[in-house]
Structure formats: structure tokens, C-alpha cells
Amino acid sequence: MSELAALTEELVSIPSHEDETAAGDAIEEWLRAETDADVTRDGAGNVIASRGTGSGSLALVGHHDVVPPDASQLDGDDYVVYEEDGRIYGRGTADMKGAVAACMHAFRDADPSCELLFASFVEEETGGHGAKYAIENGFVPDHAIVAEGSTNYSKEGVTDVVVAHRGRRGSTVTTRGAAAHASEPEAGKNAVYGACDAVGVIRGLDAPVAEVLGQDLSGSIVVTGIKGGTAKNVIPAECSLTVDERTVPGAHIDLGAVEGVDSVEWAVDDEVPPMACDDESFAETVLEAAEDAQDSDPELVTKPHATDAGWLAEAGTTCVVAGASEPGQAHTMTESASIDVLERCYRLYRGTAERL
């Protein structure tokens, strides 16, 4: 087993869906043992390390929290981890402890042409709280590769370079009416009917499209929940819609249009920003490293999922996303990562650090 595969299995074996502390401890201990870097553990539990000097800075960024495992991925309280047919299986292999391990090895082995940083954040899966904490406390590198999945986005077997991804805005649309006995519907005002009118407005909204370094990225909007009514025989006085909006750099869907419906209110519950690479030369540098790291022909592409790159880009860091996870792997009961692709990502990260 390769050194990188062994580290991946070690990290994946550590439960981190409820408490990331033990996984962070393992990452911190490895960095202190294997490198002469300045390693810190901030107040949120993020592990951050730096080494090298030079013009500018490059960060290799991941996260060590995971979503809750499927029952089949547990053996008691332990995570099940195994290798089969050149892939490592287990919760967090794809999203994203395998890529974290690749970043750790690249951080150790590179002869950087700049200040090289490593960061593994906590709470990425629950809103990016670790990334936000680090940024608020001064972690704003000049450039970053966020090691989320980019493999198979252009074609099978290729690890691409993502130059833009969607963000997410979650909203609640509330309609208000007046309760009455259901036998006399005209005596009340049915909030569910108002919600239906609001759904009609939402379905008619146009999603914006952004162009980033020649790549198009489209937004989307969908109603994902509806709740209203108190009893079978009562006209509902209130109804709420849950709305999932995928945003693009520089634009939102005009969801405020629902307030044109009588007695409708709209409120934003949470938002994760999109990402757009603002420096074509950096994207091309990472692409050159990706080309040298594999026999296939990688491309500049976009990604539908939000990542911590959105928070970093919003703070002023020039970002791309490149990583081992393939579509359909993250958050599944059969989650896995290819060892060959993890090695490829290691070469990509190291190659960028030595080129920048």
C-alpha cells in the first residue's frame, strides 16, 4: 500500500460527523512529525500550516468533517474502511479526506516557489463555519486550490480544474390568510392557495447565467417543501414554502418577485457564496500542473456544488477547485476514491506549488 493510501485510510477510519477533534488531532500530529512547518490549531478546530517564503502565497485547502455515515459504513462506533479494485471505500474517502491526505503529502514534499499553506477546516458540511472563522482571523491567502471533487467533470478519467461553482441561498416564503371552518371556505382566506400562487411565480423565474474564463454557469431554483394547515376541517391561515436557489457569481434570481402575491413574505435563511476565479493566469498555471499530473487532457470547467472556495473568493483569495472525488461518490453508502486519482491530485498540488 502506498504512503498516501495508508494516510487516507487512517484519516477515513476516524469518525468525524459529530466531532472533528480526533481527525484534526491526527492531521496536526502528522504535520508536526513529517514537516518543519509552522502548524497551528485555531479556536474553531481548523488545522493550518505554513512553510516556505517567496512572492505571494498558495493554500491547499480541504475539510475533515463528513456527513453522517450510512449504517453499512459503521461497525459499532467505528467507520468501515477497506480497499478493493484500486479504490478506498468508506465515509469521507471522496468528500474529502482522500484529497486532504494528498494535500498533506504535497505540502510536505513540494519545493515551493512561494509561501505554501495547508488548511483543513471543520464544519464545511454544515455551512462553512470553519472557513469563515479562519478568514475572520486572517486566513486570506493570495491563491488557493480547494481540493473538492473535479474528476470526471469534462470526461471520464480526467481530473479537471474548476474555475467557477454555484453558491446556495435557502429561503422561506410565507403566505398568510384567515382561518375559518372548512365548511364555509368563503369565510376565510386560504393561505395554501396563496402559496400555490407563489409557487407559480417561482416556477416562472429566469435563472441567471454567468460566464467565467469562457465557461458558462447557470443558476437554478426549486421549491423543496411546503407546510401549512392545522386541521382537516380548518381553512389554513398560514403556509410556508422552502426554496432552494443555486446562485452564480454576480447574480441572484429575483425571488423577491413572490412578494407581488397578496399577503406573501420572503426571508433568506442562509447563504453560501458562489466562486469565480478572477485570475486566468493562475487557472492556466493549475491547468498546466494538471496536464503534467495525468495522461488525459484536463480542461477548465464549472461545478454545480458550493465549496469553501466561495468563502475564500468572497474574502479576496483567487481560487480554483481540483480534487479526486467523482460525481456520484460524495455522501453515498458506497462512497469511494480511486488511489490512482489521489496520486494524480498529489502531483497536481505539488506541481502547482512549484510553478506559481
Closest CA to 91 of 353, 294, 329: 329
Query: Are residue 122 and residue 202 in the same domain, yes or no?
Result: no
Query: Are residue 46 and residue 108 in the same domain, yes or no?
Result: yes
pLDDT tens for the chain, 356 residues long, are 799 999 999 999 999 999 999 999 999 999 999 999 999 999 999 999 999 888 899 999 999 999 999 999 999 999 999 999 999 999 999 999 999 999 999 999 999 989 999 999 999 999 999 999 999 999 999 999 999 999 999 999 999 999 999 999 999 999 999 999 999 999 999 999 999 999 999 999 999 999 999 999 999 999 999 999 999 999 999 999 999 999 999 989 999 999 999 999 999 999 999 999 999 999 999 999 999 999 999 999 999 999 999 999 999 999 999 999 999 999 999 999 999 999 999 999 999 999 98
83 DSSP β-pair partners: 88
Query: Are residue 149 and residue 173 in the same domain, yes or no?
Result: no
Query: Are residue 115 and residue 88 in the same domain, yes or no?
Result: yes
Query: Are residue 260 and residue 306 in the same domain, yes or no?
Result: no
Q: How many folded domains does the chain comprise?
A: 2
Query: Are residue 33 and residue 93 in the same domain, yes or no?
Result: yes
156 noted as active-site residue: no
Contact call for residues 166 and 305 (beta carbons, < 8 A): yes
Rounded Cα–Cα distance for residues 135 and 141 (Å) = 9
Q: Which domain holds residue 320?
A: 3-166+274-355
DSSP 284: H
- Residue 244: what pLDDT? 96
Among residues 9, 20, 123, 124, which one is catalytic? 124
Instruction: Report the residue count for the chain.
Output: 356
Query: Are residue 313 and residue 294 in the same domain, yes or no?
Result: yes
Question: CATH number, domain at 221?
Answer: 3.30.70.360
Q: Encode pLDDT of 189-219 as tens digits.
A: 999 999 999 999 999 999 999 999 999 999 9
Each residue of 279-304: b (16+ CB within 10 Å) or e? eeebbebbbbbbbebbebebbbbbbe
Query: Are residue 53 and residue 192 in the same domain, yes or no?
Result: no
Query: Are residue 126 and residue 11 in the same domain, yes or no?
Result: yes
- Residue 1: what pLDDT? 75
Residue 114 Cα to chain centre, angstroms: 26
Contact call for residues 52 and 114 (beta carbons, < 8 A): yes
Rounded Cα–Cα distance for residues 273 and 296 (Å) = 31
Query: Are residue 254 and residue 219 in the same domain, yes or no?
Result: yes
Query: Are residue 253 and residue 112 in the same domain, yes or no?
Result: no
- Domain final position from 272, 296, 319: 272
- Domain final position from 236, 254, 272: 272
Among residues 20, 28, 65, 148, which one is catalytic? 65
124 noted as active-site residue: yes
- Domain final position from 272, 304, 324: 272
Query: Are residue 55 and residue 158 in the same domain, yes or no?
Result: yes
Question: CATH number, domain at 70?
Answer: 3.40.630.10
